[in-house]
Amino acid sequence: MSVIENKLAELGVTLPDAPAPAANYVPYVIAGDMVYVSGQISANADGMIKGKLGDDTTAEDGALAAKTCAISLLAQLKAACGGDIDRLVRVVKLVGFVNSTPDFGDQPKVINGASDFMVAALGDKGRHARSAVSAASLPFGVAVEIEAIFQIK
């Protein structure tokens, strides 16, 4: 088991198989030493995590949903690295979209669920630039979608 996967195991996380794309796009693109991972929606073993922040979903629940996106992002990274996730140099950037009402303003708290997880799992390699934005709706009614840029060796 890799160093990163050992740390994930300590956190009680096992990376799932990388989710397949839901439409006409690829899950990731490698350009040089950068991996651009398509948006990963909030989902777990029970299915999609749906909801609208500021209406039927709390910021805390949204943060948990964002964490599931981060786990899927790492699963895609592992696939992009041919199974060797220890090729990761660093998380460069996360862009988080939060399905929220017009008056909801805690998008950063929601996306912290992914950011905090990346740092807990990867240490300094997990520190990244970030955007956290509101969306009037997201595919399938999910609560959160996050895309990422990773640097690999």
Angle, CA 141 vertex, CA 139 and CA 145 arms, to 5°:
55
Structure pTM?
0.97
Q: What is the Cα–Cα distance from 57 to 60, expressed in whole angstroms?
A: 8
What mean pLDDT comes out for the span 117-122?
A: 98
> Which residues lie closer than 8 Å to 102 by C-beta, 6 or more apart?
134
Task: Sort 7 into a burial class: Cβ within 10 Å, 0-12 / 13-18 / 19+.
Answer: middle
Q: What is the pLDDT of residue 22?
A: 82
What mean pLDDT comes out for the span 90-102?
A: 98
Q: What is the pLDDT of residue 79?
A: 98
Give the model confidence (pLDDT) of 43-81 as tens digits.
999 999 999 999 999 999 999 999 999 999 999 999 999
Give the model confidence (pLDDT) of 11-21 as tens digits.
999 999 998 88
